[in-house]
Amino acid sequence: MKRSEIIFLIVSLSIILFISIVQAQDEYYKELEIKVDIKNDISSNSDNLKVNLTSFPKDDLFQKVETEISPKATISDESILFEFNENGDYSILVSSKVKSALRFIMVKFSKEIPLDIPKEYKLYLLPTANINSNNELIRIKAKNIAGNNKNIYEISSDIAKFVKENVEYDLSYAGQNKDSVWVLQNKKGVCSEFTSLFVALCRSLGIPARYVSGVVYSNIEDKFREHAWAEIYDGYQWIPFDPTFGQYGWVDSTHVVLGYLTDPEEASISYSYTGEVDIGKFEIETEIEKYNEKVSPLVEIELNWYKDKVSLDSYAPLIVNVKNPNNFYVNLPLYITQAPDKIEENYKDVLLKPLEEKKVFFLIHIPNSRQCDFGCKSEIVLESSFNDYESIELYFSSMQDKITKEEAEKLIEEESGEKNEGLILMDCKSSKQTIYPYEDVEVNCVISNQKENDEEVLFCLNEDCKELNVEKDSLTSKDFSVKIEEKPIALCAELRDRRGSLIDFSCLSFSISEKPNVEIKNIDVKNVRYGDVVYGNFTF
């Protein structure tokens, strides 16, 4: 008797995911040789013109600089002074060849706050025009981010992660230099806004932080451009943090430092003169002349599934076991770069203490594709900024058990067990960010009480406060509707204790879109009976 056979076709199904984040480049190098030309063409009718340049590449531990200057100038450690005593046209050129290394600080242990700060660094604790470190909203948000942690390196990493996750990169704000409170409320900006908010939050906790001005390669524009990031002082050394690019405790070798500031409004070049002077355009041209060795992986990564065979339209939790074999901290961005479907969150920041092992989770959605009824397999690829590359296969078909999104999220929550112990926190969301004037907007706020007791709090919106009981170790939801007026606003809900002291707040930013004004006229259809289908012309 002939035996019948069933043949299963296993189809390979994967898509390449584009990492929709702002970053310096796709591959990082231990060292780059970079040429930086700073130019300024000036037309002067003054006999006492002085041009003082403070923003230019300088030698430090991570960059070695050879500079040629034209015309001759007076050079000090912090400035280049050009003096012109006759009328004429002048071309200033500061041409630097920079050997720029990966700025990775091997932090083996970090001091705690409060910190005994050297006198020369105390200015990096002071509030400035754009860095409002003494503002109540800044202080409360920084306190809630830190929680019970006192470790300066870990707190700074959490603050940088908060800024990156909560501020939208928007090039339309380039050159505006919004202050840190505005950024906290409106959640938009470019590198200067990201950096100002990060510096303000750090300073408010007593962590010295300085604003770094420089140039960097940007994957958004595929070229070098002026950039800002920050450095914090942990009691031993200055440590770089770039919340725009997601580089915490390190910055890649395309970062070339031009100067250190207390506030982004500080001038990088100043002019003094009598008479008429056309100062022209101040330009910085940058290019890479030589690539050296690529960076090496710093951690050990292993990928696993809860279940390696699932149904179509399932959510499969991917377990990433990350081990730090080093005796120093590692701050590592991880990316899913290939999967069977788009992923809501394909980027994770991982902070590892010396010799620490940690689990990180990604939620992989399986498409409901008819071609996979009898079986498909997909390769999932995970990469890091330090050239880690790991992959794992997942099998799915209509004959396997289904995992819903809720079930998958519960599995991850139980496995991770992360809580902000002892805090009451609030997060508000709206389904709309762009609205019409005077439109009603529905907002949902979720309040998390991780304290050991129930708490009575005040939920406040625009000075209107209502009492609210939040049960211990639980989530409380609060819904409300608000009418937005004719200008962009940041709407902030607040939680206060019964004495009126601020506990936490959450802000939503809305853009106002003008209502379309549509007029229809010149309709050439005169009479229409009910049920008729007619054709006609009109203008609008």
Say which residues have a Cβ less than 8 Å from residue 157's Cβ, sequence separation at least 6: 241, 248, 249, 331, 349, 351
520 within a domain of the structure (yes/no): no
Residue spans of the chain under pLDDT 50? 1-10, 18-21
pLDDT at residue 451, as a whole number: 79
| Rounded Cα distance, 394 and 317, in Å | 11
Residue that finishes a domain, picked among 394, 413, 432? 413
Say which residues have a Cβ less than 8 Å from residue 134's Cβ, sequence separation at least 6: 127, 204
For 11, the token pair is 């189809």
Tally Cβ neighbours within 10 Å of residue 119: 6
For the chain, the domain total comes to 4
pLDDT at residue 6, as a whole number: 34
Compute the C-alpha angle 280/282/286, nearest 5°. Answer: 145
pLDDT at residue 2, as a whole number: 39
pLDDT at residue 16, as a whole number: 55
Tally Cβ neighbours within 10 Å of residue 189: 27
Domain with 466 in it: 424-512
* Chain centroid offset of residue 45 CA: 46
3-state secondary structure of 201: helix
Same domain, 115 and 211: yes
Q: Residue 227: what are its φ and ψ, rounded to 5°?
A: -150, 160
Compute the C-alpha angle 215/217/221, nearest 5°. Answer: 115
pLDDT digits (tens, 9 = 90+) for 133-168: 999 999 999 999 998 999 999 999 999 999 999 999
Same domain, 124 and 246: yes
**Angle, helix 152-166 to helix 136-146, in steps of 10 degrees:** 120
Same domain, 108 and 247: yes
365 within a domain of the structure (yes/no): yes
16 within a domain of the structure (yes/no): yes
Same domain, 280 and 142: no
CATH of the domain at 66: 2.60.40.2250
Same domain, 324 and 355: yes
452 within a domain of the structure (yes/no): yes
Beta strand segments in 440-539, E: 440-449, 455-461, 464-470, 474-483, 489-496, 502-512
For 500, the token pair is 């009126």
pLDDT at residue 8, as a whole number: 38
Same domain, 359 and 318: yes
Radius of gyration of the chain (CA): 28
Tokens 């050159």 identify what position? 175
531 within a domain of the structure (yes/no): no
Region label for 124, one of left (φ > 0), alpha (ψ between -120 and 50) or beta (otherwise): alpha
Tally Cβ neighbours within 10 Å of residue 150: 15
Residue that finishes a domain, picked among 413, 435, 453? 413
Q: Residue 183: what are its φ and ψ, rounded to 5°?
A: -65, -40
Same domain, 137 and 240: yes
261 within a domain of the structure (yes/no): no
283 within a domain of the structure (yes/no): yes
| Rounded Cα distance, 463 and 465, in Å | 6
3-state secondary structure of 490: strand
Say which residues have a Cβ less than 8 Å from residue 269's Cβ, sequence separation at least 6: 40, 51, 52, 53, 54, 55, 282
* Start-to-end CA span in the chain (Å): 77
3-state secondary structure of 45: coil
Same domain, 176 and 280: no
Residue that finishes a domain, picked among 413, 446, 480? 413
Same domain, 323 and 405: yes
CATH of the domain at 109: 3.10.620.30
Q: Residue 55: what are its φ and ψ, rounded to 5°?
A: -105, 100
The closest of 245, 269, 271, 274 to 259, measured between CA atoms, is 269
Same domain, 303 and 434: no
Q: Do residues 99 and 37 touch, judged by C-beta distance below 8 A?
A: no
263 within a domain of the structure (yes/no): no
Same domain, 239 and 119: yes
Q: Pairing mode, if any, of strands 309-310 and 389-396? A: parallel
β-bridge mates for residue 458, sequence order: 467, 496
CATH of the domain at 466: 2.60.40.10
pLDDT at residue 409, as a whole number: 87
Same domain, 391 and 507: no
What does 317-382 look like in DSSP terms, one character per residue? Answer: EEEEEEE--SSS-EEEEEEEEEESS--S--EEEEEE-TT-EEEEEEEEEPP--GGGTT-EEEEEEE
The DSSP call for residue 401 is P
| Rounded Cα distance, 192 and 212, in Å | 10
Q: 270-294 as b/e, with b when 16 or more CB fall inside 10 Å? A: ebebeeebeeeeeebebebeeeeee
Q: Do residues 380 and 391 touch, judged by C-beta distance below 8 A?
A: yes
| Rounded Cα distance, 275 and 104, in Å | 48
pLDDT at residue 452, as a whole number: 76
Burial of 328 (0-12, 13-18, 19+ CB in 10 A): middle
